[in-house]
């Protein structure tokens, strides 16, 4: 009975709390700009409205247009359930689960791009091409960060890997993962989630033809992915797993809130980068994670 309740609690965190993060980011951006801004719960209202709407399908689209967002949502949720949640731990833990997490996130991206190509739209194909090209560089940084955590802990199990060591390596890893978080979730300076200009959109242009429940699945999946990377960043830097249950839960919530507010400030103070500069930013994230790996290697050798 206890394990079932813990599983339900983890599921509730991912399903119910994820839409809160975009609302906090928008509220921070509005506060910096001196505006009132939308309510923090705005995404909840949008999801409820979309679930009541019908679906408009292109005559060119195959069943993959509907299956893509559904499979992507399931893949992100499955990856999230593999990630430990402080005192709650992980739903499933085994050797190499971090590799499965990376592949599940890649599957979600593939299905989103596949659904975009199903419409036969040149704009959505352009967005899919940009999304995949960014992912090539971002995944290199993610894999390097995973190698760093694995070398620090001597394990390939996520619950054991997320036991960070203080020092220069933790700072480098934190900055590198934060840049990856911005890229993977299509935030400024890599993308602007509020733009409506097709020539400059990346992720948003991929979902222009979605409507109703499939579009709700896309928005909720994006919120879960943002929460996943935020929790991964916090647990990779802060010793959440070594704290008592109450302190660990408080540290995790405070850390995720800090990351979310930081994203809001970044989007308020920085402009979107030109396309030619995006590879430089992602290469910087890779190098930061690589330097963290070298620090972990030399520290382990010592």
Least-confidence region, from 6-20, 164-178, 189-203, 226-240: 189-203
pLDDT band at 300 (very low <50, low <70, confident <90, very high): low
Please report the pLDDT score of residue 165 as a whole number: 67
Higher model confidence: residue 201 or residue 288? 288
Q: What percent of the chain has pLDDT over 90?
A: 66
Average pLDDT (185-211) is 84
The SS3 call for residue 63 is coil
d(CA 160, CA 140): 22
Looking at the predicted structure, is the pLDDT value of residue 19 above 60?
yes
Predicted local distance difference test score (pLDDT) of residue 184: 95
Query: What would the two tokens of residue 276 be?
Result: 């030619």
Average pLDDT score over residue span 144-152:
93
| DSSP H or E segment with residue 212 | helix 212-237
pLDDT score of 34 more than 80: yes
- Tell if the pTM clears 0.85, that is, is over it: yes
Please tell me the distance from the alpha carbon of residue 232 to that of residue 234, in angstroms, as a whole number: 6
Residue 256 has pLDDT above 50, yes or no: yes
DSSP structure string for 103-153: HHHHHHHHHHHHHHHTTT-HHHHHHHHHHHHHHHHHHHHHHHHHHHHHHHH
The residue among 87 and 125 whose pLDDT is bigger is: 125
Report the chain's C-alpha Rg in angstroms: 19
User: With the C-alpha atoms ordered 87, 92, 97, 101, is the resulting torsion angle positive or negative?
Assistant: negative
148-162 burial, b at 16+ Cβ within 10 Å, e below that, comes to bbbbbbebbbbbbbb
Average pLDDT over the chain, rounded to an integer = 91
| Bigger pLDDT: 206 vs 164 | 206
123 pLDDT band, cuts 50/70/90, is: confident
Tokens of 298: 């030399």
Q: What is the pLDDT of residues 160-175, one digit of tens each?
A: 898 776 677 899 999 9
Q: Is the pLDDT confidence value at 213 over 90? A: yes
55-76: b (≥16 Cβ within 10 Å) or e: eebeeebeeebbebbbbbbbbb
- The C-alpha torsion from 53 through 56 and 57 to 58, rounded to 10°, is -160
Rounded Cα distance, 292 and 170, in Å: 7
Residue 9 pLDDT: 86
Query: For 38-73, how does the pLDDT look when each residue is reduced to its tens digit (9 = 90+)?
Result: 999 999 999 999 999 999 887 778 889 999 999 999
Better-scored residue on pLDDT, 200 or 133: 133
The residue-averaged pLDDT of 273-300 equals 90
Q: What was the pLDDT predicted at 195?
A: 75
């Amino acid at each position: 009975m206890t394990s079932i309740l813990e599983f339900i609690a983890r599921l509730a965190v991912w399903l119910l709390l994820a839409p809160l993060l975009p609302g906090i980011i928008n509220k921070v951006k509005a506060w910096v700009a001196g505006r009132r801004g939308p309510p923090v719960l705005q995404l909840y209202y949008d999801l409820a409205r979309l679930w009541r709407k019908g679906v408009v399908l292109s005559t060119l689209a195959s069943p993959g247009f509907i299956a893509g967002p559904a499979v992507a949502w399931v893949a992100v949720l499955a990856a999230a359930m593999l990630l430990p949640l402080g005192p709650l731990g992980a739903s499933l833990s085994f050797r190499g689960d971090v590799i499965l997490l990376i592949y599940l996130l890649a599957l979600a991206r593939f299905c989103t791009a596949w659904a975009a190509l199903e419409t036969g739209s040149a704009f959505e194909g352009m967005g899919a091409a940009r999304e995949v090209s960014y992912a090539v560089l971002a995944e290199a940084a993610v894999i390097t960060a995973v190698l760093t955590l694995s070398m620090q802990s001597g394990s390939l199990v996520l619950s054991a890997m997320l036991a960070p060591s203080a020092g220069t390596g933790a700072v480098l890893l934190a900055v590198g993962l934060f840049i990856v978080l911005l890229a993977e979730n299509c935030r400024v300076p890599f993308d602007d989630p509020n733009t409506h200009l097709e020539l400059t959109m990346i992720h948003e242009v991929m979902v222009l033809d979605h409507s109703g429940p499939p579009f709700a699945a896309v928005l909720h999946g994006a919120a879960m992915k943002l929460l996943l990377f935020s929790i991964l960043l916090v647990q990779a830097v802060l010793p959440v797993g070594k704290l008592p249950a109450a302190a660990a839960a408080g540290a995790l919530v405070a850390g995720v809130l800090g990351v979310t507010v930081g994203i809001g400030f970044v989007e308020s103070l920085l402009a979107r980068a030109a396309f030619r500069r995006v590879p430089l930013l992602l290469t910087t994230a890779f190098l930061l994670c690589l330097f963290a790996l070298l620090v972990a290697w030399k520290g382990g050798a010592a």
